Chains A and B, each alone.
Chain A
Amino acid sequence: ELKVEQNPLFLSMQEGKNYTIYCNYSTTSDRLYWYRQDPGKSLESLFVLLSNGAVKQEGRLMASLDTKARLSTLHITAAVHDLSATYFCAVYLKGAQKLVFGQGTRLTINP
């Protein structure tokens, strides 16, 4: 059974700082997705990572995938308040054709 674990689960940080959210998964997969969810809202797709070594960047967010280590990271550079949200990683389990989500990381950025 595929397990997807994010850490930290809660993160409070100051504006302007850098930080990284980690997503570890237990079974081989070469497809990983990052989503953002604002309180009371739906999930918004941020990044699609489809191969080992894939790196995607959008604004202050950068995501990477290491399939050998079964690890993806979401790096936040010079955080701003607007990035406060819950971030989910989701791993695609090819055999079962399932997308399994991590627990989510609730990010709060303080002025």
Chain B
Amino acid sequence: DAGVIQSPRHEVTEMGQEVTLRCKPISGHDYLFWYRQTMMRGLELLIYFNNNVPIDDSGMPEDRFSAKMPNASFSTLKIQPSEPRDSAVYFCASSFHRGETEAFFGQGTRLTVV
């Protein structure tokens, strides 16, 4: 398996624009997580899915953020409208039997909002 695949790797956008980040989890994994990493706040869990169903979105900062998982092999994280403070590295991770095994992380998307 190629691992967790995220796209794009880098995204630069202007404030107010919509941004969509994409993730393909490892085949067979039933949990998918979206994390955000910044210098100030470290690694934060935004939302996670189990079998394509959102389980906990309490980490989503505000209504501008939304995430979907239409099928077992694809998830999106959308920010609309984007703001400079959203600039961060966004990681997607997947695992099998959450907590029983480790989560495997994608390469991340570095988002810069100017």
Contacts and interface: CB of A to CB of B under 8 A. Distances in A.
Interface of A: 31, 33, 35, 41-45, 48, 88, 92, 94, 96-104
Interface of B: 33, 42-43, 45, 48, 55-56, 91, 93, 98-99, 101-108
Q: Which 7 A-B pairs have the closest CB atoms?
A: A101-B43, A45-B102, A43-B105, A92-B99, A42-B105, A42-B107, A48-B102
B101 A48 contact: yes
Contacts of B101: 48
A100 B48 CA distance: 13
B99 A31 contact: yes
Given A42-B108, A43-B91, A99 B103 contact: yes
Contacts of A96: 56
Contacts of A97: 48, 55-56, 98-99
Q: Is the interface of A mostly helix, strand, loop or mixed?
A: strand
A39 to B, nearest CB: 11
Given A88-B43, A98-B56, A41 B107 contact: yes
Contacts of A94: 99
A99 B106 CA distance: 16
Contacts of A48: 101-102
Contacts of B105: 35, 42-44
